[in-house]
Amino acid sequence: MIVKKCVEGKGYCVVSFYVEKPHAQKVELVGEWKGWEPEEMKRKRDGTFWLSKRLRKGRSYRFKYLIDGQFWENELEADGQVPNPFGTTDSLLII
């Protein structure tokens, strides 16, 4: 799940990413806003992982989740899915 909170009169939004993976040990958010470097998400007691990012308005961003360092997953609630050079798709976030 993705939650967007845009700041009035400012050029950015705070975007919170939530992933329900109670059996995962680690979930990372990987996106083009940081050169595709993984960012470890925080784990809640219920097994939900989350991370908030401050991103510029008026742009779109590709991203994926990396589960336990092995499995790539897309966000089904993203604004879209776009093909990537690896023959799969990336999630698309439009702000």
Domain ranges of the chain: 2-94
Q: DSSP readout, 3-16?
A: EEEEPTTSSEEEEE
Characterise 86 by phi-psi region: left (phi > 0), alpha (psi -120 to 50), beta (else).
alpha
pLDDT value, residue 81: 97
Phi, psi of 91 (to 5 degrees): -75, 150
pLDDT 10s digits, 38-50 = 999 999 999 899 9
At 11 the pLDDT is 86
Q: What is the pTM of this model?
A: 0.90
Domain 2-94 indexed as CATH 3.40.50.1390: no
